[in-house]
Every structure is written in C-alpha cells, then in structure tokens.
Amino acid sequence: MGQVQATTDTEVTLQNIQELYRKFTDECPSGNLHLHEFKKIFGVSSKSSEEEVAFIELVFKSFDTNKDGKLDFMEYVAAVNLVLRGKLIDKLKWSFKIYDNDGNGCLTNHEVRRIIKIITKIKWHNDSNAETVDYICDRIFELTDKNKDSQISLEEFIEGAEKDPWLMEQLRLDLAPKTWFIKNQEKKT
C-alpha cells in the first residue's frame, strides 16, 4: 500500500513538472530566480522591516544550495516541494539549517537568539521584548539540550520539536508563500 502512494506522488510530480517549468520561465525569463524576485514572492519590499528582509535573505540562502546567489529551476522545485508538500522532518531539518548560521551542525544560544529575535519582531510587528526572547531561548535550550553542552544538535532539535507542541511552534519556520504560490498558480492556469 505504501508503494502505491509513493508511486502516485511521483506520477503527480512528473505530470506537473512541465507546467511548473513553464510558470518558472514566465516569472523568471533569465532561468534563475534572484533575491529581489524571491522577496516579491514573499511580499518583502522597501517598506518591510529590517527583520523581515533579514529573514527572507536567510531563507533564500538556504534554498540556494550551490551558493551562486540565485535559484535555478532545480533549487526552485526543491523549495516549492518543501513548502507545499514537505514532510515535517524535512521542514524541521530545513529550519535547523536556517538557525545554524555558521553551518557547523550545532546551534548555539547566540544563533537561536538571533532567529527568535527576528521571528518575534515579525510576528508581533514591534520591537521584540528582550525578556521574551531570553525566556524563549532559555526554554528551547532547557527542552532540547539533553546532554547540557550548551549546543543543540540536529537530533536534539528534531526530537525536542516532535515531543513538545510549544517547542514545535517556536522552532518550526512556517513560510507564508504557500498561499501566494497557490493563488498565483490558479491565476495562470
């Protein structure tokens, strides 16, 4: 039964790939999605807050797997798949990648605090309260840092998020383009 589902998912993806490519080339005639276009997709403009701009730049960099400063079609497909159809484990791995600023595979308090500060400012549309950010960061470390080494590994991150709904809410980075993407796709079909 599981094999049939996987095959059906693959067939749907293959049937839609040409249409996705056509839409990508319509939106990105150069064959690449640049940061300014990516910002437009997410509604980030010159009127956006510093935090929103910083966050979307982090998201863009996380999808730019070959680090060339633009998203090619394959990177775009991977991003769309993660946002629209990604499994929880994949979204948590991606969230971890965003948090892990230096890419060393462990999160420090500074890295977690940086993202939490950005997210709280975006969510609450005001200056994030330092006490709130400190509380959230302290609680995240309390719930995830099982070996008390002042770092959170990917395994600790995933395990903690899966076991605690509050923690899941704090750690998971939900993206708003899902609604935009679906509406845009409907307009063009």
Q: Are 60 and 35 in contact (CB under 8 A)?
A: yes
The domains spanning 12-48+56-85 and 91-176 adopt the same CATH topology: yes
- Please state, in angstroms and rounded to a whole number, the distance separating the CA atoms of residues 174 and 98: 12
E strand spans, the chain: 33-34, 70-71, 106-107, 152-153
**Assigned fold of 91-176:** Recoverin; domain 1 (1.10.238)
Stretch 45-55: mean pLDDT, rounded? 86
The domain locations on the chain are: 12-48+56-85, 91-176
Residue 38 has pLDDT above 70, yes or no: yes
pLDDT in tens, 67-108: 999 999 999 888 888 877 788 899 899 989 999 999 999 999
Average pLDDT over the chain, rounded to an integer: 80
Q: Around Cβ 95, how many Cβ atoms within 10 Å?
A: 20
Residue 42 has pLDDT above 90, yes or no: no
CATH 2.40.50.140 applies to domain 12-48+56-85:
no
- Please state, in angstroms and rounded to a whole number, the distance separating the CA atoms of residues 21 and 16: 9
pLDDT for 13: 55
Q: Return the structure tokens found at 71.
A: 């998203």
The better pLDDT of the pair 166, 33 is held by 33
DSSP state of 104: S
> The whole model's pTM is what?
0.75
pLDDT for 149: 97
pLDDT in tens, 8-25: 444 445 667 788 888 888
Q: Helix 88-99 vs helix 50-63: angle between axes, to the nearest 10 degrees?
A: 120
